[in-house]
Amino acid sequence: MSKKMQSLHTHTTYVDGKLSVEEMILAAIERGCDSLGFSEHSHVEYDDEFSLSIEMTPKYISELRELKAKYKNEIEIFTGLELDYDTTWKPQEDLEYTLGAVHNLKVKDECGNDKHIAVDSTEGIQRHLVETYFGGDYYSMLEAYFAMVADVIKVTNADIVAHFDLVTKFNTDYGCFDEQHPRYLNAALGAMDEVLKDCKIFEVNTGAMYRCGKVEPYPSKHLLKELKKRGGEVIITADSHDGKSICYAFDEMRELLKSCGYTHQKRLTKNGFIDVEL
């Protein structure tokens, strides 16, 4: 990392992270990060494993408030949440920013009951989703996913669009579907156009590059170019679940964004988002 950076997508042991809030703060300081935002997964009624409970959310916010004061001379801390599309409850105060995300598709099981299946859990689960509920047609599943992404800001009122094309997580070498296929592009770009009506800031997320060996961030380079054409703005995040991933590949992402025509990214301050040079 050639310069100090901020990352606003950070998870902890409150849900599926590897380190506590304080351990993540110390790791960020060690890595030269001058600002860190925590964005734990918001409460989702059907998901006990990958979302904060209503009871734990105030504790999460309170701990961040205490640690923000404790480390104020070493690093700037921001309190946020990653708001899932299916979030039905969130705190009404104390949040300084939010991410809006789609993780699950709702389908009907053989008894006609609603069932939620994650698009990013494992490649096997994603394949099962496609084969069982979309007749083996990946593009039908992709269209359903991006239809939800199109509405994610209207539903969550979030400040930042999280991992816009998360559904490509396992699509190494286009092994599952072609990201240049007209059906894919129509779905993705249609969702992008809808999202931009309500939110301009898309995160450039390196999480799957760190954890899964993905060669591109979310969104992909092609989609980042399309976002630039449409007047979208970007903020680099790491989607960190451990200390080593904080600000992962940020230098590389700055160069990627420059190659796509961007000159600035957003940065969160006490007074809101500002532009900073890449």
**Cβ burial, residue 269 (10 Å; 0-12/13-18/19+):** middle
Helix (H, G, I), strand (E, B) or coil at 107: strand
Q: What is the pLDDT of residue 124?
A: 96
- Which residues does 57 contact at the CB level (< 8 Å), separation at least 6? 42, 43, 90, 91
Q: What is the pLDDT of residue 3?
A: 63
Pick from 75, 65, 69: which is nearest to 25 by CA?
Answer: 75
Compute φ and ψ for 29, nearest 5 degrees.
-60, -45
Helix (H, G, I), strand (E, B) or coil at 141: helix
Strands (E), the chain: 6-7, 35-41, 76-84, 97-101, 104-108, 114-118, 160-161, 201-205, 233-237, 264-269, 272-277
Q: What is the pLDDT of residue 1?
A: 46
Per-residue pLDDT of the chain (278 residues; tens, 9 = 90+): 446 799 999 999 999 999 999 999 999 999 999 999 999 999 999 999 999 999 999 999 999 999 999 999 999 999 999 999 999 888 878 999 999 999 999 999 889 999 999 999 999 999 999 999 999 999 999 999 999 999 999 999 999 999 999 999 999 888 999 999 999 999 999 999 999 999 999 999 999 999 999 999 999 999 999 999 999 999 999 999 999 999 999 999 999 999 999 999 999 999 999 999 99
What CA–CA distance (Å, rounded) separates 62 from 65?
A: 5
CA distances from 67 to 97, 139, 175, 259 (A): 17, 45, 44, 38
Compute φ and ψ for 240, nearest 5 degrees.
-75, 135
Q: Domains plus CATH for the chain?
A: 6-277 (3.20.20.140)
